[in-house]
């Protein structure tokens, strides 16, 4: 069963999912803390390059099936034009100011 983005517990994670699904690159970047980092399948990646390739130029979309860790860990079906749909896990580090300093994703 899919969790609607509006029902996600963590406001930063909710905004992240909404920015991905609405292809709002500017809004997405505003959610990230300065110097934010990310990893994909356990390897650190260049954040700007990765989000352009895996989210914005390939029409990424997240359908969240489950959340845990106060809403900072998601299990989602993620799809884009490059890879099709896959089950993925997303973990977020949210700072006190509500911005995301790190996210980690991978097949789940």
Domain locations along the chain: 5-107
Please check the confidence at residue 108 and state whether its pLDDT lies above 90: no
CB 27, CB 39: distance < 8 Å: no
Architecture of domain 5-107: Roll (3.10)
| Token code pair at residue 99 | 């911005």
Closest of 12, 11, 21, 29 to residue 64, by C-alpha: 21
Q: What is the mean pLDDT of the chain?
A: 97
Instruction: Centre a 10 Å sphere on the Cβ of residue 107 and count the other Cβ atoms it contains.
Output: 11
Q: What is the pLDDT of residue 53?
A: 97
Average of per-residue pLDDT across 72-95 = 97
Distance CA 32, CA 42 (A): 20
- Taking the model in full, what pTM does it have? 0.96
pLDDT digit string (tens) for 34-76?
A: 999 999 999 999 999 999 999 999 999 999 999 999 999 999 9
Q: What is the pLDDT of residue 49?
A: 97
Q: What is the pLDDT of residue 106?
A: 96
């Amino acid at each position: 069963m899919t969790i609607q983005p509006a029902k996600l517990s963590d406001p930063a994670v909710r905004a992240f999912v909404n920015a991905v699904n609405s292809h709002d690159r500017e809004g997405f970047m505003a959610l990230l803390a300065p110097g934010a980092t990310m990893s994909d399948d356990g390897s650190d990646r260049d954040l700007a390059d990765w989000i352009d390739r895996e989210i914005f130029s390939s029409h990424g979309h997240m359908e969240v099936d489950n959340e845990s860790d106060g809403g900072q860990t998601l299990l989602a079906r993620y799809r884009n034009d490059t890879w099709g749909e896959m089950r993925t896990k997303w973990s977020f580090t949210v700072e006190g100011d509500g911005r995301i300093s790190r996210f980690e994703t991978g097949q789940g």
